[in-house]
Amino acid sequence: MQREFKTLKLETPKPGLLVVTLDRPDVRNALNTQMGLDLRDLFVPLKFTPGELRCIIVTGAGDKAFCAGGDLKERNGMSDEDWRLQHAIFEEGYYAVGQCPVPVIAAVNGAAFAGGCELALMCDFIYAAAGARFALTEVSLGIMPGAGGTQNLPRAVGLRRAKELILTAMPFTAEQALEWGMVNEICAPAELMARAVAAADRICENAPISVRQAKKSMDHGMQVDLNTGLAFEVQSYERMITTEDRREGMRAFNEKRKPRFAGR
């Protein structure tokens, strides 16, 4: 896995856990072409070769913003073709976040507008700092959400609420996002990363193949009818039967000790 990026800071506080920080605090971590390339180059390989990773946390540098959305200064004066090419990079990076086989937690430490809100929605679940704000503002700029916003927000808050938020470009608070089901929990700003890390620790302690298969089953099952989803769940379940981790889990339970899962 590549470790050095121009706009991302990577940390591994403990084995299996990767913290990815959007690192352009001087512009509220706005998404420029380089950040798109960095997200793509980090997450695309993980789709197929996650290695020893068991959980990822995505957050923003500083205390003002998770990500303010696209860097509009960079976009000013772009040709149509340059705009299309840049957006293709964003699509590749964002879709790879959404399709990452290991769980991805968003720790939203401030404003998450436009592409920043869409990046949080691409993650598996969201913890937000008190005072964080969200918005999908694209229609006020002559464009529309194009990195998953029109698909992920309705799935999170319901179609009618999503239409209201996207078509009005209206900002909303972390408290509203929690009430509507988009955010899992609101934390004091100083406690946000500790809460995200605590959840990630619990995930990292569990059997990694089981976690990945359960995530895959939920993600695929939500796109199909119930009977098809149930059939996919059984197929996902059967993947665990022959694993060393399944045997270790049973041994540990009966020996009254903590299991040591190896991901095999």
Structure tokens at 91: 């699509």
pLDDT for res 3: 80
**Among this protein's residues, is 175 annotated catalytic?**
no
**Among this protein's residues, is 138 annotated catalytic?**
yes
Quick one: average pLDDT of 62-75? 93
**Separation of alpha carbons 163 and 148, rounded Å:** 14
- Considering the domain architecture, whether residues 141 and 217 belong to the same structural domain is answered as no
Q: What is the pLDDT of residues 196-223, one digit of tens each?
A: 999 999 999 999 999 999 999 999 999 9
State residue 170 phi and psi, 5-degree precision: -80, 125
- Considering the domain architecture, whether residues 217 and 141 belong to the same structural domain is answered as no
Domain, as residue range, for 213: 207-255
pLDDT for res 164: 98
Active-site position among 4, 81, 92, 138: 138
- Considering the domain architecture, whether residues 91 and 153 belong to the same structural domain is answered as yes
Looking at residue 126, which CATH number applies to its domain?
3.90.226.10
Looking at residue 228, which CATH number applies to its domain?
1.10.12.10
Give the model's confidence band at 143: pLDDT under 50 very low, under 70 low, under 90 confident, else very high: very high
**Secondary structure of residue 105 in the 3-state scheme:** strand
Whether residue 153 is predicted with pLDDT greater than 90 in this model: the reply is yes
**Nearest CA to 229 among 237, 211, 217, 214?**
217
Quick one: average pLDDT of 222-232? 95
Q: What is the mean pLDDT of the chain?
A: 95
Whether residue 1 is predicted with pLDDT greater than 80 in this model: the reply is no
| Distance set, CA 221 to CA 158, 210, 218, 230 (Å) | 18, 16, 5, 7
Whether residue 254 is predicted with pLDDT greater than 90 in this model: the reply is yes
Quick one: average pLDDT of 218-232? 95
The full length of the chain comes to 264
In the chain, the number of structural domains is 2
Active-site position among 4, 74, 91, 118: 118
- Considering the domain architecture, whether residues 139 and 176 belong to the same structural domain is answered as yes
pTM, to two decimals:
0.94
Q: What is the pLDDT of residues 99-132, one digit of tens each?
A: 999 999 999 999 999 999 999 999 999 999 999 9
Whether residue 2 is predicted with pLDDT greater than 90 in this model: the reply is no
Quick one: average pLDDT of 223-232? 95
